[in-house]
Amino acid sequence: MSQHIPARRRIAALAGASALALGLAACSTPSAAPAEEDGGGDATGVTDTTVTIGTHTPLTGPAAAGYSSISAAASAYFDYLNDNGGVHGRSIEFIVKDDGYNPANTQTVVRELVQQDGVFAIVNGLGTATHGSVLDFLNQNGVPDLFVASGSTAWNQPEKYPWTFGYNADYIVEGAALAQYAADEHPDATVCVLGQDDDFGDEFIEGVELAIGADGIADIQRYSVSTQDVTAQIGAMQAAGCEINMLATINGFTALAVGAAAQLGWFPMWFSSSSGADYPTLVGYLGEEMGPKLLQGFTGTNYAPMADDDWVALFRTVNDEYNGGAAFDGNTIYGMSVAYLFAEALAAAGEDPTRESLVAAVASGDLKGNGILPLSFGEDDHAAYLGVGITKVDQGVQDYIDASYAVEGGAVTAVEPQPVALTGKGLPAS
C-alpha cells in the first residue's frame, strides 16, 4: 500500500527529475497492482487508499509560460478533493512530468509513468505533436488516455484509439465558430489566418474554410514554435490588407503576433483559438501597461466557466488554499475543470475501479463536466465539446458574449449555452 503524497509535492519532486533512457524504461516493471486475476479488469495504479494517475506537460520550454500552471491547478483541485474524502475513499496521487513541449521527451516520460510509476491513467497530456507521439503506445498497452489537452481531431478515433478521449473543443470547431462569428458581425472584413505549422494550424484553417470557404481567406501564414519571431508573417498579413487576423497560436505566439503588429503601428482585429486566448496570460507577456490596450476587443473561444460564475468562485477559493494563491487565470480554471471531470469519471467507474470501467464511464455519455455546452462523449464519439462560446475582452475583463456555435455534420449553427450548475461544492457524488 503506497503512502499518500499531496499532489503539489509530487509535482515539485518530479518536475526536475531526469528522464530514464527509453530502453531502460521499456524494461521496467510497473510498481502498482497488476491486472485482476478474476477477469474483472486491470486495476493497475489502484490500491485500497489511492489512485495514481499521471500527465506530461511543458514545465519548461517554449510553451511553459502559457501552460505550466494547468497541472499545478489540477493538482490543487485533487488536494482539495482528497481533503474532502477523495473518490470512494481513495485519494488521487497525481504525478506530473515535464516534457518541455518536445515529443521525444514526451515518449520518455510517458513510458516512465506507465512502466515505472504504474499509473492507472494518463490525464490531460498536453500538446498535439507531443501527445501524438505516445498515442499508439498508450492504446497498445490499454492505458486510459483521458481528456487530452489539445484540440486535434486525432483523439476522436474510437475504433483506432479506444482508450483515448479529448478534452478541448477541436480546432475545426474553433476555427469554424470564429469564422462564422466574423461573417455574422463583420461580413465585409478581410480575413486572414496565422497558424502553427502542424495539425493545430491545419485543422483550424479547415474550420475557417468550413464557415467562409477557402476563397474567404485573403492570406495564410504559418509559424514554427522553434522560432520565437513572427515579424515576417505579421508584415505579410499587413501587406495583404488583413482586417481580422485569426490565430491558431499558443499563448506565447499570440502575444508575439499582437506585439509585432503594434510595433508596425498596425492594429487589426484579433480572433484566437482558446489555446492562445487567455487574457491574463497574454497580459503577462505584453506587460501591464500595454497589454490591456492592445487586447481591448480581443475575441476568442471557450467552453469552460468564466468570469462571474459559481465554479470560478469555487476554483478561486481552491487556488488560494491549495495552490499558494498562485495567479488565477483561464489556465487555472481549465486545470481544475479537467481534474473535476476526471474525479467525476472515477466516481462513475465504481467502488472498485478498473481501467476498463473508467473508460466505460467516460463512453457512457453520462458525465456532465462543468462546461457551458453539453459533453459529447459516447461509444462512437471521443470528443468532449462540439461547440464553443465566443469571448471578448472589454476593459480588462474577458467573458462570454451572446454568441455560441456548434459544428456537426459539416454545418456551423448558432446554439444556446447550457452551463452546468455547481453542486456539492464541486465534488462528484461517490
Q: What is the CATH number of the domain that holds 145?
A: 3.40.50.2300
Q: What's the pLDDT tens digit per position in 340-384?
A: 999 999 999 999 999 999 999 999 999 999 999 999 999 999 999
Segment 108-121 mean pLDDT: 98
Locate 111 and state its grid cell. Answer: 513510458
CA dist., res. 174 & res. 204, Å (int): 7
Question: How far apart are the C-alpha atoms of 244 and 230, rounded to whole Å?
Answer: 17
Is residue 280 domain-shared with residue 225, that is, in the same domain? yes
Query: Domain check: are 403 and 262 in the same one?
Result: yes
* Residue 161 within a domain: yes
Asked if 217 and 284 sit in the same domain, the reply is: yes
Is the pLDDT at 35 greater than 70? The verdict is no
Q: Which residue has the cell 498562485?
A: 326
In a domain, 41, yes or no: yes
- Provide the terminal-to-terminal Cα distance of the chain, rounded to the nearest Å: 22
Calculate mean pLDDT across residues 228-234. Answer: 97
Those residues with Cβ within 8 angstroms of residue 188's Cβ, 6 or more apart along the chain or in another chain? none
- The answer to whether residue 37 scores a pLDDT higher than 70 is no
> How many helices (DSSP H) and strands (DSSP E) are in the chain?
15, 13
Say if CB 203 and CB 172 are below 8 A apart: yes
Q: What is the pLDDT of residues 241-253, one digit of tens each?
A: 999 999 999 999 9
Same-domain check for residues 35 and 95: yes
How many other CB atoms sit within 10 Å of the CB of residue 206?
17
Going by C-beta distance under 8 Å and a sequence separation of 6 or more, which residues neighbour residue 38? none
| 70 occurs within a structural domain | yes
Closest by CA to 338, choosing from 70, 144, 24, is: 70
Residues 222 and 359 grouped into a single domain:
no
**188 and 252 part of one domain:** yes
Answer yes or no: are the C-beta atoms of 261 and 234 closer than 8 Å.
yes
Is the pLDDT at 118 greater than 50, yes or no? yes
Answer with the one of 365, 385, 405 that is the final residue of a domain: 385
Question: Cα–Cα distances in Å, from 124 out to 129, 242, 313, 314, 409?
Answer: 14, 35, 23, 21, 27
199 and 334 part of one domain: no
User: Is 422 inside a domain boundary?
Assistant: no
Query: Is the pLDDT confidence value at 25 over 70?
Result: no
The reply to whether 421 falls in a domain is: no
Burial (CB < 10 A; 0-12, 13-18, 19+), residue 84, is exposed
Confidence of residue 196 (pLDDT cuts 50, 70, 90): very high
Instruction: Identify which has the larger pLDDT, 66 or 189.
Output: 189
Same domain for 296 and 202, yes or no, is yes
Contact indicator for 147, 165 with CB cutoff of 8 Å = yes
Same domain, 353 and 377: yes
Pairwise pLDDT comparison (245 vs 325), residue with the higher score: 245
* Domain limits for position 71: 7-169+308-385
**177 and 240 fall within a common domain:** yes
Total number of domains in the chain: 2
Residue 420 located in a structural domain: no
385 versus 65: the higher-pLDDT residue is 385
18 and 101 part of one domain:
yes
- Bridge partner list, 397: 394
The single-letter code of the amino acid at 429 is A
For 410, other C-beta atoms within 10 Å of its C-beta total: 8
Q: In 3D, which of 252, 372, 369 has the Cα closest to residue 307? A: 372
pLDDT of amino acid 308: 85
Contact 361/348 with Cβ under 8 angstroms? yes
What is the structure's pLDDT at 40? 77
Q: Are residues 155 and 220 in the same domain?
A: no
426: in domain: no
Q: Is residue 60 part of a domain?
A: yes
